[in-house]
Structure 1
Amino acid sequence: MKYVIIGGDAAGMSAAMEIVRRDKQAEVTTLDKGHIYSYGQCGLPYVIAGRIPSTDNVIARSVDTFRKKYGIDAKTGHNVTNIDSEAKTVSGIVLETDESFHISYDRLLIATGANPIFPNFEGSDLAGIHTLKTIPDTKAILNDLNDSVKQVTIIGGGYIGLEMAESIAELGKKVRIIQLGNQLADIFDEDMAELIHEEARQNGIELIFNEEVKGFKGKDHVQTVVTDKGEYETDFVLAAIGVKPNTNFLDGTGMHMTPKGAILVNPYMETSLENVYAAGDCASHFHRIKQKDDYIPLGTTANKQGRIAGMNMAGGANTFKGIVGTSVVKFFHLTLGRTGLSEKEADELGFDYEVHKQKAKDIAGYYPGNQEMQLKLIYEKKTQKLFGAQIIGGNGVDKRIDVFATALYHEMTLNDLLDLDLAYAPPFNGVWDPIQQIAKRKS
């Protein structure tokens, strides 16, 4: 059986490893246009901050390891430009030689990930303007963030924008964030985002809201960011506007896609084309609360979907159970956690819901070192079934958001939270966990 996988990172190599474990006669070929396989993209901002010493530290397995230890034909510098599902071939260009290649398959996985969104701004070809997605991106940023850089401008206030604002500020640079909308981290509701704004300002981050970037000025190097309302001097620009599925090469194949350009997959990770699977940041993600396909690209989801795709390509019948939209990020002294639906999403879906907010301590209030967190809970008005949670605070946010995520997966109610047998000792928790405190007030 010939297996071909397009993409050499989280989803692609999770699938490849499942195939070689399950099919000892498998011929596995992986194709990636880059030269580095299987690395932790989420760790890259911390390489820039210096907390992780080198990009080498975020590489899980080298290309040679896949080749020599696991027998995978891991090709680099291979840019796939077309698939032919009737002929069962993939074709493209070897970037270093400009030669074309054609490879046949029995089963194909598309795991091409996502690309940073970067509009065709005027002046975007100037030096000093960057995006962050890959290890080469990281090295280019580190090379440009020299002592001459005093002022950095970040376009976009999502997770990458926040993480990079913190990392660059730690290098002693002045940091400005320009955001098209009226808040940072718009996966949080506006009332919770105010806590993020306060933390940003306390750490010297300049926030510019409700302005649209139109372009850049400079001679050879960027010197000015131009918006619809003004101009801002800068020495360096990071565009962190978001990502989009890397699926343009599938135009004309007849592949069923979402409006955002992600490949539609069923629970077995199969696409609309026979013997073609997709997984990760290029694919759709079924949302258990919304009960429909969504697009929330995260490394955790990519690894899970890739694993299931590989199992099924090798003859299994396993299903992806879906996501509930869980994420967490460090921002200076805060931890930002969320899962399920925000108020905005619940409104869009027409759900009849209620909201409760409460402050709580991460550990026993009398124990030294306790820290405050702000919790926000969204639940169905009639049944008190949980819809979503947002928590912002210091220590212990990740623990609680994971409990909420588990509760959402199992369709629990406020009353169900009170019955959970959660760990308690004063250095770790209060006798009533914060999630039970908020449930007790409303159930």
Structure 2
Amino acid sequence: MKQYVIIGGDAAGMSAAMQIIRRDSDEPQVTTLERGGIYSYAQCGLPYVIEGSVAQTDDLIARSKETFRKKYGIDARTYHEVKSIDPQKQYVHGIDLELDQPFTIPYDKLLIATGADPVIPSLPGNGLQGVHTLKTIPDLERLQADLHQHRQVTIVGGGYVGLELAEAFASQHIPVRIVERNGQLAKMFDGDMASLLHEEANAQGIEIVFNKTVTELRADTEGRVNALYADNEAFPTNLVVFATGIKPNTSFLRETDIELNEKGAVHVDGQMKTNLANVYAAGDCALQYHRIKEQHDFLPLGTHANKQGRIAGTNMSGTEKSFQGVVGTSIFRFLRLTAARTGISEKEAERLEVPAESVYYKGTDIAGYFTDKKPLHIKLVYRTDNHLLLGAQIIGESGVDKRIDVLATALFHRMSMDEFEDLDLSYAPPYNGVWDPVQQAARRVN
């Protein structure tokens, strides 16, 4: 009987655990260690509880700890924080936070699926009442409780989470401000495309402060935040949410010889193996191979975590399967707009010194003669030497998701711009023009 230990009880960890249970026929002993109190919940759904599309936090939980224990025989533990591992003797050491007692568990195979923690800049006042992050269900519950009385919100950071939160607050008619240290929102997009998001924010009454770095938070007489200072300019606020990115939760590995990148993410091969014997890693604490960049990258998304966890569990249980990499596809809603991207942007191509150009096309989501058609803004990035597609960005009110998935599939299979005209895409006037806007954009290269 093999002893499997998995550190982390969310997407990657529990995807791996289920594969082990299903594939290892020798009655495996699977122990999962979760430092929090909740297993298998949808982190990406947290802003939509505030927005109202999700009725309650319980709806975000896929399987409870009790389900994993009783139905699948997994020794699923909560409030067990791992402090170190001994890869030579193959032990995991940590603290049972409820009992305040140390524990040690032996393993034959170990998976590190510890995810990532939100980054809070080290600055005066970051621990005041009214200062929040959003990564877990308890984070959300604290934020919701605070919203009942304090409704002048400042979000620090204009990335995915910051924009999703801004939409959620705005939908509830809560005044919201975004402070972004760069000159645009959604820096994963090129500036010309991100300008569409700026226009939408302004149209919906969201205040945006660009090119400002938060330096200090100040409190009122009761110890609650009442002002945010950015480069010495004061902004009144009584609730602050930091959405300034995440960092891999791997500090407990620093005393080992495990290979980490500069951000602390674990290097893994195609089978999710680390450089330590019998130690695997998956999810937001691990790197992913980027098929377009042809190098490892840190792209912490739920889709990658589930896939990597599934592949890790498959390999741990003795069946070989390889992770085929990512092309960098993502999508989010911002007020009336949907914004999506895949591959690399024009500025990324320049940074990677790839010979590239782009083409821009403004089309419509359905047949152009329909009265309710919506504009689609499409940008395609391609190699100048062989017209190979490198990336795409699409922003519009409707039809974005359909097109970005076509482009992501094309990227995965290394299609050239010249081949797009041959694609047999679905057509009927309520759904498309006779030439899809993606094909229309690609034809402008020829």
Q: In which range does the TM-score fall when normalised by the shorter chain? A: over 0.9
Give the distance between the partners of 1:63 and 1:417, measured in 2 at CA: 47
Superposed, 1:302-317 pairs within 5 Å as 302-317=305-320
User: What code does the residue aligned with 2:241 have?
Assistant: L
Which of 273, 278, 281 is residue 275 of structure 1 equivalent to? 278
Instruction: Say whether 1:207 aligns with 2:208.
Output: yes
> 1:119 and 1:90 mapped to 2: Cα distance?
30
Pairs within 5 Å for 1:60-99: 60-99=62-101
2:299 aligns with 296
Matching residue's letter, 2:326: I
Aligned match of 2:249: 246
Find the counterpart in structure 1 of residue 110 from structure 2: 108
RMSD: 0.8
- Give distance in 2, aligned partners of 1:229 and 1:391: 36
Greater CA deviation, 415-424 or 321-330? 415-424
The amino acid of 2:146's aligned partner reads D
- Tell me the CA shift for residue 367 of structure 1: 2.4
Deviates more, 1:75-84 or 1:119-128: 119-128
CA distance in 1, matches of 2:3, 2:371: 60
- Does structure 1 conserve the Cα–Cα contact (< 8 Å) formed by 2:346 and 2:357? no
C-alpha separation between the residues in 2 aligned to 1:379 and 1:169?
Answer: 37
SS of structure 2 residue aligned to 1:224: strand
Counterpart in the other structure of 2:16: 15
Map 1:397-416 onto structure 2 (within 5 A): 397-416=400-419
Q: Are the counterparts in 2 of residues 211 and 229 from structure 1 also a CA contact under 8 Å?
A: no
**1:226-267 Cα shifts (integer Å, max 9, x gaps):** 111401100100000000111011011110011111000001
- How far is the alpha carbon of 1:440 from its aligned partner? 1.5
| Structure 2 Cα separation of the partners of residues 269 and 412 of structure 1 | 27
| Cα deviation, residue 363, structure 1 | 0.7
**Runs of 5+ in structure 2 lacking a partner?**
none
Given candidates 36, 42, 45, the residue that maps to 2:44 is 42
Residues 1:284 and 2:273 are matched in the alignment: no
2:365 is the counterpart of 1:391: no
* Partners of 1:441 and 1:212 in 2: CA distance: 40
Q: Distance in 2 between matches of 1:70 and 1:162?
A: 38
Question: What residue identity is the alignment partner of 1:381?
Answer: T
Structure 1 contact 149–173 (Cα < 8 Å) conserved: no
Q: Does the 8 A contact of 2:311 with 2:323 survive in 1? A: yes
Q: Could you tell me how far 1:149 is from its partner in structure 2? A: 2.1
Mapped to 1, the partners of 2:387 and 2:238 lie a distance apart of 51
Matched, 1:419 2:431: no
Alignment of 1:19-418 (within 5 A): 19-24=20-25, 25-146=27-148, 148-219=149-220, 220-418=223-421
Distance 2:365 2:172 in 1: 30
Residue 14 (structure 2) pairs with residue 3 (structure 1):
no
Distance 1:426 1:371 in 2: 13
Query: What amino acid maps onto 1:87 in structure 2?
Result: K
Report runs of 4+ in structure 1 exceeding 6 Å deviation. none
Q: Is the 8 A contact 2:215 2:232 kept in 1?
A: no
- Would the aligned equivalents of 1:188 and 1:338 in 2 still touch at CA under 8 Å? yes
Instruction: Give the TM-score of the pair, scaled to structure 2.
Output: 0.98
Q: Deviations 1:80-116 (Å, cap 9, x if unpaired)?
A: 0000011101010001111000000000000000000
Task: Note the alpha carbon deviations across 1:171-194, whole angstroms, 9 max, x for none.
Answer: 221100000110000000011110
Counterpart-to-counterpart distance in 1, 2:131 and 2:260: 31
CA positional deviation for 1:70: 0.5
Which amino acid in the other structure matches residue 277 of structure 1? Answer: Y
Q: Number of residues paired by the alignment?
A: 442
Q: Provide the secondary structure at the position in 2 that maps to 1:138.
A: helix
How far is 1:150 from its partner?
Answer: 3.2
Alpha-carbon distance between aligned partners in 2 of 1:140 and 1:170, rounded to the nearest angstrom: 19
Higher mean alpha-carbon deviation, 169-178 vs 70-79, is at: 169-178
Q: Deviation of residue 368 (structure 1)?
A: 3.5
In the TM superposition, residue 442 of structure 1 has moved relative to its aligned partner by 1.4
Stretches of structure 1 lacking an aligned partner (at least 5 in a row): none
Q: Percent identity?
A: 55
